[in-house]
Structure 1
């Protein structure tokens, strides 16, 4: 295998393609599509989004210090892309895409009702970086669409929602499941009624 050196760049893919909703009032409501996002702490639950200062949503985020990360799906692919290439200065994105703003429980920002998961975030710190600034936030509430919740286990089946991911400028669906966390070290169960017998030499 031969390796070649590339200039330093953002090569961590795939990433979630999420729609981030902002705005404390209906007049301010906006949606910005973000791929630079992720988890940074489990307890307390914390995440981040990185936004260019020139984006319309940046000033709203700075003022309200709150946002909602809305996970996206195959069905929301068109709206996800459209909200990423159009500016909230010129469009009312909820209306243009036929999306429904709903009330968040803990923050001053709308949720997108059509999204399977809405993650309510409160900004703790803004880190000034280069092309983007990072909004570090605490997750203060999560709303989940009950149609994807297993009534027996209470677990959320995100795969059934067909989540959307982003890689090198393209949107993709999820592939088939190849294992679960810890499967590489999980001991195989013996079948009932069978035993291992060493042959005598």
Structure 2
């Protein structure tokens, strides 16, 4: 297999495409689409987002110290793209995309009602990296659409039709290939082999 050598660049794909909502008290809340987001710690639960300094939401998040990561679905793909190419300086993104600000449980910033999962976050650290600043935040609450729960209360994110971003394009998550740990899981024991001898036919009387 032949390969070409390229200059260093951002080629870690696919990545989540999420809408991050934020807002100052008394002002119209805003939405910024972020592709550079990820989990960074499980206990306490923490995640990070990277935001350019010139983005309208940058100052809002830095000043308030809070934001909501809203997972995106197939139905939200157009809004996700639109909120990524339009600025909150010029548009009320909630209004333009017919989205509903939802009251958060632990922070002042609103979530997006239409999103299947809302992750409320409080900023713990801001790291200046260059073109982007990295906002390291603790997850303080998660709200989930109850339509994604099975009869035992377990979350089935497969029902959400979540969207990923890969090299400038959006894709809906598709075929399930396995689950965590399947490569080392013990295979179920095979049932006892049936006797190789076939039962004899009854003789006709």
Q: Give TM class, smaller chain.
A: over 0.9
Task: Figure out how many residues of one structure are paired with residues of the other and give that number.
Answer: 196
| 1:189 match | 188
How far did 1:186 drift?
A: 1.1
TM-score (norm 2): 0.92
| 2:95 match | 95
How do 1:120-159 and structure 2 match up within 5 A?
Answer: 120-152=120-152, 154-159=153-158
| 1:15 match | 15
Structure 2: gaps (5+ residues) = 195-205
Instruction: Give the number of the structure whose alpha-carbon radius of gyration is greater.
Output: 2
| 1:6 match | 6
| 2:61 match | 61
In structure 1, C-alpha distance between the alignment counterparts of 2:77 and 2:187, rounded to whole Å: 40
In structure 2, C-alpha distance between the alignment counterparts of 1:75 and 1:140, rounded to whole Å: 26
How far did 1:18 drift?
A: 0.2
| 2:200 match | none
C-alpha contact (below 8 Å) 2:28/2:92 kept by paired residues:
no
How far did 1:26 drift?
A: 5.1
In structure 1, C-alpha distance between the alignment counterparts of 2:121 and 2:81, rounded to whole Å: 22
- Name segments (4+ residues, structure 1) moved above 4 Å: none
Structure 1: gaps (5+ residues) = 196-201
In structure 2, C-alpha distance between the alignment counterparts of 1:26 and 1:98, rounded to whole Å: 20
Q: 1:26-71 deviations in whole A, cap 9, x for unaligned?
A: 5240000000000001111100000000000001011100000000
In structure 2, C-alpha distance between the alignment counterparts of 1:93 and 1:25, rounded to whole Å: 17
In structure 2, C-alpha distance between the alignment counterparts of 1:131 and 1:122, rounded to whole Å: 22
C-alpha contact (below 8 Å) 1:22/1:28 kept by paired residues:
no
